[in-house]
A and B are shown apart, each in its own frame.
Chain A
Amino acid sequence: QQQVKQSPQSLIVQKGGISIINCAYENTAFDYFPWYQQFPGKGPALLIAIRPDVSEKKEGRFTISFNKSAKQFSLHIMDSQPGDSATYFCAASMNTGFQKLVFGTGTRLLVSP
């Protein structure tokens, strides 16, 4: 119940295309859903995050869509660029205790020029 399932494992998108990464969770106590971007040999960097009281959040080319009833959320990268090539992790946490993050398994995105 603590797992966050992420798909696909890897993704190749042409420059200018839309990258879509999906995550699903079981624990309805989760109330914070961030996405992280990680480049090789670096720590993850927060990209965008959402709470369950909204269905969509957009920041620049990055959009989170959230479906509370389906317990799913996704990251859309519009106009994907080669510089977006990285590993993306979804995560979830609940507002109790130390708010530990539970990470998805990661998606390796490659944006071809």
Chain B
Amino acid sequence: GAVVSQHPSWVICKSGTSVKIECRSLDFQATTMFWYRQFPKQSLMLMATSNEGSKATYEQGVEKDKFLINHASLTLSTLTVTSAHPEDSSFYICSAAPGTVIETQYFGPGTRLLVL
């Protein structure tokens, strides 16, 4: 149980285009979902927290107009990187927390984005 999937697993795009990454909780309802960014050999940095049906809360320094997050349902959250640039190339990981006790987060397998 507690499986989180991400799609796509990797994506290559041209500079200036937008990329959408999906995060799904497959066998539980996720009240809260988190989006992280991880550079090679570095730790996970939280980008934003989203609750179903409400606006995402972004961490300091994360551009909300560039990284659009939509938590459309209790099993789906999407991250759209708008007008992507090479510096946006990174490993994007989502996590999902079931119910109201959200100390346990289940992580997705990640999406590797390469912007050319």
Point out residues on A near B: beta carbons under 8 Å: 32, 34, 36, 41-46, 49, 89, 93, 95, 98-101, 103-106, 108
Name the distance in Å between A57's Cβ and chain B's nearest Cβ. 14
Residues of B within 8 A of A (CB): 4, 6, 32, 34, 41-46, 49, 51, 57, 93, 95, 97, 102-110, 112
A83 to B22, CA, bound (A): 30
Q: Are A100 and B34 in contact (CB under 8 A)?
A: yes
Contact A103 B109, CB 8 Å, known A98-B57, A98-B102: no
Checking B95, B105, B110 against A42 with a beta-carbon cut-off of 8 angstroms, the contacting residue is B110
If A43-B108, A43-B109, A46-B106 touch, does A104 touch B43 (CB 8 Å cutoff)? yes
> How distant is A101 from chain B, measured CB to nearest CB, in Å?
6
A selection of 11 A-B contacts at a CB cut-off of 8 Å is A34-B104, A43-B6, A43-B110, A44-B93, A46-B107, A89-B44, A100-B34, A101-B44, A103-B44, A104-B43, A106-B41
Partner of A44, one of B46, B102, B103, B107: B107
Q: Which 6 A-B pairs have the closest CB atoms?
A: A43-B107, A103-B43, A32-B103, A43-B110, A98-B49, A43-B109
| Interface contact B44-A42, CB-CB below 8 Å | no
Q: Which residues of B contact A32 (CB under 8 A)?
A: 103
Picked from B43, B46, B102, B112, the residue with its CB within 8 Å of the CB of A41 is B112
Closest A residue by C-beta to B93: A43
Which B residue sits closest to A51, measured CB to CB? B103
Evaluate contact between B43 and A89: CB separation under 8 angstroms: yes
On whether the beta carbons of A44 and B112 are closer than 8 Å, the reply is: no
- What CA separation (Å) do A22 and B103 show in the bound complex? 21
Tell me the nearest residue of chain A to B51, going by C-beta.
A98
Known: A43-B93, A106-B43. A93 touches B103 (CB 8 A): yes
Q: Which residue of A is nearest B4, CB measured?
A: A43
A105 touches B103 (CB 8 A): no
In Å, the complex CA distance between A77 and B108 comes to 24
Residues A100 and B93 in contact, CB atoms below 8 Å apart: no
Query: Once the chains bind, are A99 and B110 in contact (CB under 8 Å)?
Result: no
